[in-house]
Amino acid sequence: MKRIFDTQLIGPFAAMVIVALIVALTTERFLNPGNLSNLSLQVSIVALIAIGSTIVIFAAGIDLSSGSMVALLTMILAQMLKFVGIPLVLALPLILLMGGLLGLFIGLITAYGRIPSFITTLAALIAFRGLALTFNNGSPIFSLDPALEPIFYGKLFGVPMPFFYLVFFYVLAAFSMNFTKLGREIYAVGGNPAAAVLTGINVRKVQTTTFVIAGFMTAVGAILMSARLNSGSPNYGQTLELQAIAAAVVGGASLAGGRGNILATLMGAMTIVIVQNGLNLNAAPSSVQNIVLGLIILLAVGIDMWRAEISGLMGRMFGRTSSQQSSNVKKEA
């Protein structure tokens, strides 16, 4: 039982199932096909951005800029399509490139400027939101391109497109983190930067790379956000960075770095979205939703900090139970 408790997937999976059962018992509408379909679409944006946030956390960093970056990139995409006249097929790769470049900018300042990632991404959060407000006098831009919506609402073999995005990027991320040199280096940098340097790892380069990945994944989320609403707005992405971080932490990623499973982040994202969906179905105001999200993050971080104590307690409990059972068997014999 201790070994099961220590695995990186069983905890997030159990949390997701328990939350889903609670929500299903508190509202009849949760299991409606329409609500489940909306839930699957809603989780896609958070889960994809959470990939980048999780990889940054693996390297002992933090990314607070993703929500504002989404707003900025949706406004740039809207400007390209609506006013500049750039074709969609060209605009989408440009947005992905811009996301990577913004991540590179943050990564260089963090790694080579030796400024804590909390500070650099907090500054970026404010700056990106401000830049988004400079477009179109701070007003949203609607009706961008009819070909944009199928990117989010389209289906392949009857399955919504976001499902395929999730499968592709999570399989790619899981493979990269577990079976590539970069993945091993990210874990090493997050676990012990000093030891990583002694083994020949370029720590600053690895840290910068994690922010490039985070910027790219944020750009993917921004494209889906624009496709979902066929618009761009400087108000998009608010609290999205907190949801992405919460997904990583609920999924078991350690904020100290060096530990976690990228697949568990998907379960964490689903847990967060299920909680929000349940609150919406029960007509809870946004203020209550933010309070609950904060409590979830606090609880998840607490569990991470107390992981060793909880694991030891579970081991003693089940070890004692096994010993008692063995002694009972001997007595009966």
Q: pLDDT digit string (tens) for 241-267?
A: 989 998 998 888 888 899 889 999 999
pLDDT digits (tens, 9 = 90+) for 44-100: 999 999 999 999 999 999 999 999 999 999 999 999 999 999 999 999 999 999 999
Residue 314 within any structural domain of the chain: no
Half-sphere exposure of 30 toward its Cβ, with a 13 Å CA cutoff?
20
Q: How many domains does the chain have?
A: 1
Q: CA-CA distance, 127 to 112, in Å (whole number)?
A: 20
pLDDT tier at 28, thresholds 50, 70, 90: confident
Residue 25 within any structural domain of the chain: yes
Q: CA-CA distance, 135 to 35, in Å (whole number)?
A: 34
Which string of DSSP letters, residue by residue, matches 221-256?
HHHHHHHHHTEE-TTTTTTHHHHHHHHHHHTT--TT
Residue 12 within any structural domain of the chain: yes
Q: Are 329 and 321 in contact (CB under 8 A)?
A: no
Domain of 250, CATH number, reads 1.10.3470
* Cβ neighbours around 150 below 10 Å, total: 11
**Mean pLDDT of all residues belonging to the chain:** 89
The residue segments making up the domain with residue 269 are: 7-306
Residue 40 within any structural domain of the chain: yes
Report the pLDDT value the prediction gives residue 330, as an integer from 0 to 100: 54
Residue 2 within any structural domain of the chain: no
Q: CA-CA distance, 83 to 327, in Å (whole number)?
A: 79
Residue 86 within any structural domain of the chain: yes
pLDDT digits (tens, 9 = 90+) for 91-109: 999 999 999 999 999 999 9
Residue 188 within any structural domain of the chain: yes
Mean pLDDT comparison of 159-168, 276-285, 312-321, highest-scoring range: 159-168
Residue 328 within any structural domain of the chain: no
Per-residue pLDDT for 156 more than 50? yes
